[in-house]
């Protein structure tokens, strides 16, 4: 049916492939044995491959390439720098970094995870869905390469063990490097406390790497969040200093016309009512205020330093791996504003 449909469309494209179930495949796990990971999870740390490495501004992370791939990578970086200096558009030569494996697990945007006995599905607003089959199937006999590859997994208690193959060779690695058609990814995902997930990732490529490229990513549960469509033009919200109201955007035409109209008689000044500030904000509150002001930042990863308090104001440094944010807010943590 798929082949006939493809021929009818004149594209030759097949939209599915035959699942491979080897003899003696394990039975489906029971619902009661599965962990509750359903919902949204926010990335901890920077938008980077490995938060364990020291941060160096402007220096991308480089996989453990062998000599051949390292020379190709350095030549490509030099070409991109020359293009940038000349003002010409950069030739990316491949892409889809955050929508393909392994870059997808950096989690540029929150991960939406759904667990059932047959599979674990991981979705992102900018990268579609990744299906990790847990129903006993193996990799296809004649797999079709894709941006996310083909993932099969099994449960070892509450730990999800994953094997991923068959990733298209024209996608890019974190840092912009390339890989071969032999790249293979192993993962172990678990929750140490119910509030966070850990993903230990090992990327092997016998044609491109001198050794495995490893990392451990952390994601934090966000039970009150819901997913929104990825749209960089519309789904944005800017926050300015307290009182700036930048989140409401530029004034409307009606507001501009009213502002240009003759001024009305000035009423006598009225003394402002005192503002109730509430309880002083806690250190955890300052972490959350930093993350809210900065955006796309898990509050659990913020280190609060140099806290200074007055009757109506609090200032602090919100430190991450790559940036020390200078922040200020009302004494109860509202109207937070941060800048580098």
Quick: pLDDT tens for 35-67: 999 999 999 999 999 998 888 887 888 999 999
The answer to whether the pTM exceeds 0.75 is yes
- Residues in the chain with pLDDT < 70? 1-15, 87-95, 232-267, 271-278
pLDDT of residue 77: 87
What does the alpha-carbon distance between residue 135 and residue 137 come to, in Å, rounded to a whole number? 6
pLDDT of residue 185: 98
pLDDT of residue 339: 95
Quick: pLDDT tens for 82-140: 877 876 655 444 457 889 999 999 999 999 999 999 999 999 987 789 999 999 999 99
- CB contact at 8 A, 249 and 86: no
Helix or strand or coil: residue 189? strand
Q: Domain 27-222 is of which CATH architecture?
A: Beta Barrel (2.40)
- CB contact at 8 A, 165 and 138: no
pLDDT of residue 175: 85
| Helix, strand, coil percentages in the chain from 3-state DSSP, rounded to 5 | 20, 30, 55
CA-CA-CA-CA torsion for 175, 181, 186, 187, nearest 10 degrees?
50
Question: Please, where are the H alpha helices in the chain?
Answer: 2-9, 67-86, 253-260, 283-294
């Amino acid at each position: 049916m798929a082949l006939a449909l493809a021929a009818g469309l004149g594209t030759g494209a097949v939209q599915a492939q035959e699942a491979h179930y080897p003899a003696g495949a394990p039975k489906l796990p029971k619902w009661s044995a599965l962990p509750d990971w359903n919902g949204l999870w926010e990335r901890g740390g920077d938008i980077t491959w490995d938060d364990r490495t020291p941060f160096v501004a402007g220096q991308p992370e480089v996989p453990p390439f062998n000599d051949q791939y390292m020379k190709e990578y350095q030549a490509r970086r030099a070409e991109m720098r020359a293009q940038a200096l000349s003002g010409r558009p950069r030739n990316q030569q491949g892409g889809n970094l955050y929508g393909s494996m392994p870059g997808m697990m950096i989690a540029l945007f929150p991960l939406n995870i759904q667990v059932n006995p047959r599979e674990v599905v991981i979705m992102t607003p900018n990268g579609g869905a990744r299906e990790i089959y847990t129903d006993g199937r193996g990799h296809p006999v004649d797999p079709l390469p894709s941006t996310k590859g083909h993932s099969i997994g099994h449960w070892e208690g509450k730990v999800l063990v994953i094997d991923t193959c068959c990733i298209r060779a024209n996608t890019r690695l974190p840092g912009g490097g390339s890989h071969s058609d032999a790249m293979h990814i192993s993962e172990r995902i678990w929750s140490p406390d119910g509030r966070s997930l850990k993903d230990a990732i090992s990327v092997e490529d016998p044609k491109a790497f001198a050794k495995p490229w490893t990392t451990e990513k952390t994601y934090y549960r966000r039970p009150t969040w819901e997913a929104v469509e990825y749209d960089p033009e519309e789904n944005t919200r800017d926050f300015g200093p307290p009182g700036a109201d930048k989140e409401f955007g530029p004034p409307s035409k009606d507001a501009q016309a009213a502002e240009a109209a003759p001024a009305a008689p000035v009423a006598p000044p009225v003394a402002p009512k005192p503002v109730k500030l509430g309880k002083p904000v806690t250190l955890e509150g300052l972490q959350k205020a930093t993350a809210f002001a900065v955006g796309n930042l898990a509050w659990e990863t913020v280190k609060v330093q140099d806290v200074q308090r007055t009757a109506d104001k609090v200032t602090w440094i919100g430190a991450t791996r790559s940036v020390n944010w200078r922040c200020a807010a009302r004494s109860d943590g509202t109207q937070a504003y941060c800048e580098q």
